[in-house]
Structure 1
Amino acid sequence: MSWNVRGLGRADKRRRVRQVMQDRNVDVLLLQETKKSSTEEMFVRSFWPWERMEFMAVDSEASAGGLLSIWNPEVFQLLDCCCHRNFLLILGIALSSFECVFINVYGPNDVSKRALLWDTIINIRTSFQKPWCMGGDYNEIRNIEDRRGCVRRDRGMLEFNNFIDQLELVEVPMLGSRFTWCNSMEGERWSKIDRFLLDAIWLEKFRFQMWGLPRLVSEHCPLLLMEDKRNWGPRPFRFLNAWTLYPGFLSAAKRAWSEHQVQGWACYRVQRRLGGMKVELKKWNIEVFGLVEEQLKKAEEELHAYDLLAESRELASIEIESRREAKHLVWKLRKRKDWLWFQKSKLNWAQHGDRNMRYFHICASKRQRRNMVDSVVVNGVSIEDPELVRLEVVRHLSKAFAEEWPSRPMMFGNFASIGNVYRGEVLEPEFTMEEVWEVVKGV
């Protein structure tokens, strides 16, 4: 969690922070603007709800600034650190095996000082090359939609976006709120200046969601970054173009279609056969096509074994042929895997010119998080439980598409047929240039 608390001097404020930590089961906390010139353990324990705790702090200058990073040592083990007046970096091992970096950031109010801070952080990237998770109050927006009722500064936006691009970080979309800061006392000013920026590797390992929680103790809302482990049920069926690259796909599809014979009117038969075919293709995808990763790994190991053998001696003709076949198989499996992620990302491959599968994996993951319906608001109440969300969606769509007519209107009578093929072609010709100009001149 990242939170600009705007000072922690009052006991009632610390109690509220403690309650939020406990309710949300927070393991790593990044606080900005603590406004503490010195930070003792007893003070930190007054709002950290768990027994196990480690922390690092950057003291404020008078009553300005101050950073505090707290973590559960059972979740994160510290290895190294680096601090500055405006950021606090900790490097360690998360969840026993994932080596990573957490950075707590507080951007200066002055645009020139912020630019210097961005340069400083970029310069230390080479010293801390593990995956970054950077959260905090950057005091800057990324586009004009991130601000309402406030002065716009194009220079600061440009420098901030360049900073993110140079670090190759990805912003996690925020759910629950549009803005992170509000000062309603001064003309309803709103801004999105708090955010989490992650290295793409984080997005590959975890299914993160970020929530903007209610503003309870300051003008800034706390940002909760958490892995969504809720069960949303089975995923909808989707045809994947990569299936067509598999040699046995067409025969499997034809067999699935022909095996489901039903009686009834035409649309009903098509609907039932498509349903049966969907079940068979999903089963085929898991049992046959879904083994691409395993097959690719096996083929790569085989190719590597032949390469090692070729380094020590000349290969026999049969070994050369086997090596050629293994190399071709690796190429086919990699292409199939790339096609799969490319379709999921829905990007133009030729336009972007990037054939790296990891790139498309990241884009697909981002698109999935952006399109996912995590909650619904009904009569002003936010509903997050998957079962209740499904019920409300069904109720809404049932009401939206319900018909109030007691019976649908029907047409009766004798209807004339178009007749021969020539008459049908006369009704469907393309417009000629002369006809188009005739209409344009008559307007």
Structure 2
Amino acid sequence: MGNSGGLLCIWNKSCFIKQCVIEGSGFIGVSGECGKERKKCNVINVYAPCDRQRKVLLWEEIAGRVLEEGGCWLLAGDFNVVRNVSERKGKMRETQDIQDFNHFVESTKLIDVCLRYRKFTWYRPDGSSMSRLDRFLKSTEMSLLATDWVQEGVARSVSDHCAIILKARNTYWGPKPFRVMDAWQQHPDFRSFVDDKWKDLQVEGWATYKCKQKLKLMKDECKRWNKEVFGNVETRWGILSKEIEALDIKSEEIELDENEVLLRRECFQEMWEILRKREAMWKQKSRNNWIRLGDANTAFFHRCVHTRRAQNQFQVS
């Protein structure tokens, strides 16, 4: 834990059963049983220090656990070091840190999973340098749990790091549910828009079917209104993320000109504004008016939303 946050490990209890916690200076993890076969698995979340001596102690402590216990191991996080000079853009030469880290990976026989879509995962704000500091390392035994392992770099939004995701297979979770935002009701035209559209929609059939179909059509109308009138915050966030991602990828190959550097700065400024709007929307969802606007404790808002949603659910038999 630190002033700006800490390391967090979360898991799905239906897929992973925790047996114990693994802790050390610079890492935290869980050990338990994974999958239908209840195979023993160890997952460690790493945040390596900048100091070389402390890095060496971290590599030695983790290597001791991996070599002593064996089995399935997965290491993930910010290792604060690259494996070779090609994983960094900017002024750099071969350092002892690189040799220490490579020795750690080779001695533990961990596999560095292939990274897709991005070359680097950390970017200096001015774009003058970038590195691949974040990665997944897995043991050979971990490969037996699933096939086609790959890690993907995700758009970094306002952070200087890209999030990385480890995938074993492509999974389709089905269509996203549609819910009316409370913030929409604050718009002066929303209620009249709903009334007019509901009257205009004509559906033939028995009463229950007509109601179901009109609600389905209203969903599309509300989405269109949100995009054209209210302003789709998530859509704009995605557009800005893609613009920043495109500039990041371009800067990995060539230097950006002054206009492109200015454009990226402007995108970040707008994303911060959108981020504040998103926090306000979560506050509305939580229905906790006593919380001051601007509190970024979105985890609390999520819990409140899920609790209220569970209370509002009903079953039809």
TM-score, length of structure 2 as denominator length: 0.51
Residue 96 of structure 2 is aligned to residue 155 of structure 1: yes
**CA distance change for structure 1 residues 162 and 65 in 2, over 3 Å: closer, same or farther?**
farther
- State the distance in 2 between where 1:77 and 1:124 align: 20
Alignment equivalent of 1:203, drawn from 120, 143, 152: 143
Q: Give the aligned residue type for 2:15.
A: V
Residue 45 of structure 2 is aligned to residue 104 of structure 1: yes
Alignment equivalent of 1:168, drawn from 100, 104, 109: 109
Deviation at 1:125, TM superposition (A): 2.4
- State the distance in 1 between where 2:14 and 2:169 align: 21
Corresponding residue SS for 2:165 = strand
- State the distance in 2 between where 1:230 and 1:77 align: 22
Task: Give 1:74's aligned residue.
Answer: 14
Counterpart contact for 1:76–1:96, Cα < 8 Å? no
The residue correspondences of 1:333-344 to structure 2 (distance < 5 A) are none
Deviation at 1:65, TM superposition (A): 6.4
Structure 1 residues 11-66: Cα deviation after superposition (integer angstroms, max 9, x where no partner): xxxxxxxxxxxxxxxxxxxxxxxxxxxxxxxxxxxxxxxxxxxxxxxx22xx2662
The unaligned stretches of length 5 or more in structure 2 are 173-244, 247-317
Aligned length: 172
Q: Give the aligned residue type for 1:144.
A: V
The unaligned stretches of length 5 or more in structure 1 are 1-58, 232-380, 383-443
Deviation at 1:171, TM superposition (A): 0.5
Q: Give the aligned residue type for 1:213.
A: V
Structure 1 residues 70-105: Cα deviation after superposition (integer angstroms, max 9, x where no partner): 111111110122212301121111123222110100
**CA distance change for structure 1 residues 199 and 69 in 2, over 3 Å: closer, same or farther?**
same
Corresponding residue SS for 1:93 = strand
Task: Give 2:76's aligned residue.
Answer: 135
Alignment equivalent of 1:191, drawn from 108, 122, 131: 131
Corresponding residue SS for 1:109 = coil
Deviation at 1:115, TM superposition (A): 1.0
**CA distance change for structure 1 residues 77 and 230 in 2, over 3 Å: closer, same or farther?**
closer
Structure 1 residues 111-135: Cα deviation after superposition (integer angstroms, max 9, x where no partner): 2211111111112224532210100
- State the distance in 2 between where 1:91 and 1:189 align: 36
- State the distance in 1 between where 2:67 and 2:143 align: 21
Residue 51 of structure 2 is aligned to residue 117 of structure 1: no
Task: Give 1:145's aligned residue.
Answer: 86
- State the distance in 2 between where 1:196 and 1:88 align: 15
- State the distance in 1 between where 2:6 and 2:91 align: 25
Counterpart contact for 2:48–2:78, Cα < 8 Å? yes
Deviation at 1:202, TM superposition (A): 2.2
The residue correspondences of 1:179-328 to structure 2 (distance < 5 A) are 179-185=120-126, 187-206=127-146, 207-229=148-170
Q: Give the aligned residue type for 2:22.
A: C
- State the distance in 2 between where 1:155 and 1:64 align: 29
Corresponding residue SS for 1:166 = helix
Alignment equivalent of 2:119, drawn from 166, 174, 178: 178
Deviation at 1:168, TM superposition (A): 0.6
Deviation at 1:151, TM superposition (A): 3.4
- State the distance in 2 between where 1:148 and 1:195 align: 17
- State the distance in 2 between where 1:123 and 1:202 align: 18
Counterpart contact for 2:19–2:32, Cα < 8 Å? yes
Structure 1 residues 225-265: Cα deviation after superposition (integer angstroms, max 9, x where no partner): 1122479xxxxxxxxxxxxxxxxxxxxxxxxxxxxxxxxxx
The residue correspondences of 1:424-443 to structure 2 (distance < 5 A) are none
Counterpart contact for 2:123–2:161, Cα < 8 Å? yes
Task: Give 1:84's aligned residue.
Answer: 24
CA RMSD of aligned residues (A): 2.3
Deviation at 1:184, TM superposition (A): 3.2
Corresponding residue SS for 1:69 = coil
The residue correspondences of 1:7-18 to structure 2 (distance < 5 A) are none
- State the distance in 2 between where 1:193 and 1:150 align: 16
Structure with max Cα Rg:
1
Corresponding residue SS for 1:224 = strand
Following TM superposition, where does structure 1 have runs of at least 4 consecutive aligned residues deviating by more than 4 angstroms? none
Counterpart contact for 1:105–1:135, Cα < 8 Å? yes
Deviation at 1:153, TM superposition (A): 4.5
Task: Give 1:333's aligned residue.
Answer: none
Q: Give the aligned residue type for 1:160.
A: F
After alignment, is 131-140 or 204-213 more displaced?
A: 204-213
Q: Give the aligned residue type for 1:192.
A: R
TM-score, length of structure 1 as denominator length: 0.37
Q: Give the aligned residue type for 1:122.
A: A
The higher-RCO structure (CA 8 Å, 6+ apart) is: 2
